[in-house]
Chain A
Amino acid sequence: MSEESLWLKQKLDRRLLLAGSLAAVGGTVAAAGSAREETSRAGHGAAASITAQEPPTHLAVHGAMITVGEVDDAKNGFDPMKLLGDWDTGSVSKLPDGRTLRSFTITAEDKEIEIAPGIMFPAWTYNGRVPGPSLRATEGDRLRIVFTNHGSHPHSMHFHGIHAARMDGVPGAGLIDPGEEFVYEFDAKPFGCHLYHCHALPLKRHIHKGMYGVFVIDPDPALHSEQEAVARSRLLGTPENASWQEFVMVMNGFDTNFDDENEVYAVNTIAHAYAKKPIRIVRDKPVRIYLVNVVEFDPINSFHLHANFFDYYNQGTTLTPTLRTVDLITQCQAERGILEFHFREHEPGLYMFHPHQSEFTELGWVGMFDVVESVS
């Protein structure tokens, strides 16, 4: 009897506890509701607090969405800032018939490069750099490219241009084993913005490992009398050309874990290189970009310029634009072209450029033009 009553007493306490528990659960639900609002606000606050640390202006625009650290350019052996304009015009001599002979020396070699801060990539390279040397010739030149393979796999140089089948750089026509040498010889035509890449198999692997480069053929003004001024502005070495600011941009990507998806995207290999160090542009001088897309695994890449529009010469084989006044162009794999624009009517400042595939942008392919009044 007494036991029963004790039981009841205990149970009563329990019931009180239960009622209290239910109230508390209700309270928890209400609290969770208010916490929800707080967190969403806090979330934005977190993003804002990153910019509140006041990094340099050119970094502030990326917020916290950027790679951490710096790439060791010296160890890589190439500086992305220099890659923008270091043309390889070869060694020039005259042929008996008076034509210009341009000779280039290219060596294939294996090299581990740092493609984003701290991320090493076992690349296959031309002359130890990715992209390979930016070759530049003039329409009608005779070209001689002495290619040596010091790599661990068979390689070749397949030029996008007009040449004989036996100079094509495919298996059986200039594809060489490690330790061998081959000389590609053909005329520089047609003028335009082209590329070269290895055509050994499997093609996808040989290209994405780093075997590609820009191959620009400038128009010969003498052959384009109706548009001589335009042609002269494109021809390296003329005063007209010197008034332009020219840049090479190779849009590439790296599949670091070999799952046929790129982990890093960039122009000229190094993720965020031109986001961390903007490209200096003098306001008064026009800008010309030789843009090449060699990204693998994704069928299309693109280029979008902020706050400005440009004229586009698809593949660069015409002297009149193929697209006028656009701020975005797309390029398929191996597609390329020339972009021309200026900032004459703009105020100085930082102007962003990136592909409009947000994914590529957020994985490293984004940069800035730092437009200034004049070179100090």
Chain B
Amino acid sequence: MSLSLLAPGALALGLLVALPLLAHLSWQRPRDRVAFGAMLLMERVVKRIQRHRRVKDPLIFALRALALLALALAAAAPQWVRAGVLPDVGGSGRVVVLLDRSLSMKMADGGASVFAHAVAKATAQVQALPAGTRVGLVAVDGQAVALTPSLTEDRATVVAALGALVPGSASTDLGAGFREARRLLAGDPGEVLLYSDEAGANTVSAARPELQRLLAAGAAVLPQPVREGAPNNVVIRAAIYGDGLEGGQVTLQIAHFGPEPTEVACEVVLPDGQAVPIFVALPADGEATAQVTVPREAEGGVGQARCEDAALPDDDTRYFHLPHVGASRVLVVDGDPGDSPARSEVYFLEKALAPWGGGQTGVTADVVPPSGLAKLDKTKHRLVFLANVGDLRGVGGRLVDFVRGGGSVVLSMGSNVAPRVYNDELSALLPAPLRGVRSLAAREEAGVPLQTPTSAQGLLAPFAASGRAGFGRVRAQRVMTLDPYADTDEVRTWLRFEGGAPALVEKQVGRGRVLLWTSSFDFDWTNLPVQAVFMPLIQAVVAELGADGGGRAERVDAEVGGFAVVPLPGSGPEPEVFDPAGRLVSTTRQGGALRFPVDQAGAYRVAITDGPVTGWVAANLPFAESDVRAPESIERAEVDLDPGVFTEQVELGGWLLGLALACFALSAWLARAGGSA
């Protein structure tokens, strides 16, 4: 809405407003004196008139000034440009119906869905178009589809196509819809009737370039109202498992798009089927955070959080990743029970795995002597620590099978370790044959420090942000040396001592992994157990090697309507992908990853045939569709691009002239009616 003046110079006539003021100032007292016997009555008259004048005189002055201003404005020929005027439909004879069938259109609205309203209105509009009008139909969600190959006068076809449409679960790409509409119009002028709730924070802004092209081609986009009630929806914006190595909480971030506060019943369902209910109070048009404590033992995989919301049930479930929680899957073989904690590898390992004690959080490891290796349970244990174990008779083959089957082993050295025994029993697991113990410094000396690692991936991921310098404070007086080896796809050296001696070496064996620490986990050979890097390093080892599948299961998030890309293991058979319903999904290879389309929300499982799960994909619906409020509008964007559209010019000169005359008449009547004194 704007105002323009064709003859702004005429506003100078506004100076006439000074005339009534001058007239008032130039008023003079009369000279005649009249002896009057009824002054009692005259005083009453004056009092009464003055009561009126206190209100009336300023009113008369204002009316006269307003009249003069109105005259001056009328002379300036003002025009009022009124916005928001939608033209009648069908005037161009070429119409494209653009129907939004995205997820948000499923929102309940007055007993039906917004989509149902849109279809009904579009159908009625098509049937009401003037005879001879050529019509096309485009359906749009994440992509646009022209349901008529070209514009047609066969309305029955268009109406039938409208009736066959169903809403989907994808986001809204209005730009694609405009592009398809422009193609149907073949670059000629026409009208695009848009039936969309325009929901989503960026739905409109993303469509602006195509909208501009459409307008430039001479077409007009006429948004049609599709929603009857106020937008309202509850959606779980995020569900994230966190806090601690083992155990913790799932944090739910729940958004509410509605005018009234509400309370919803929610539930977190873990991968093993455990359900944790919760009620969440939500503010109007706001968010709330809720936390659900995960039981001490829970299977890893993809869990789901869901809230009851009748407005848009499709987006009420959010899928999230959950690691294997709580089960005592770590077996520590204590090869050197020390006479004091400082001489006990197990003491330091237990402290690193459960810093606050096993009664709260963390991993409570099963600790056994070397003979206890017979208790190794492949279905339970995922990781075995061999801490300074010297006696490996009869268990080598068992360990190799364990690793090849997907388990992992961490070897730490010490005075009990005999290189010959290890080379004999565990040759398949060692990244290189053990050569012998090498003294780097005297016991009373500080020892040789570790090199600060240059990368922070995999096992060193906890040090990505900071803490890598702490490795430089780890010193060793003795190490187990290895025969020369080279890093390959299967062997990787994570840490080295100054001088180049290997410190932490990993080897992929079958579906499992072996990690070799060439020094000890107690004070015999090194100061590692009391360094800041010890605890996060051990926990990262458990998280990486102790996971299902003998290695870390890849955890990938994806959005319905898009693609998921899952990194592949470095070696071994190529896994397959199964959708939430268990059906095999067709995939393509993209470098070292598998790529596949995500067409439904839920947990996609990546697994080797008859083998462990190597990855999980948590697929969720696009959040943008859940924000049903439509913060922007196509109509406004269209006005921004073409200010002349949807406007009507109104000449105000006549109205102002009438106003001036009315003001003059009213002021004259007021002046005449009450008199003055």
Judge: A and B partners, yes or no.
no
Binding site for B on A (CB under 8 A): none
Binding site for A on B (CB under 8 A): none
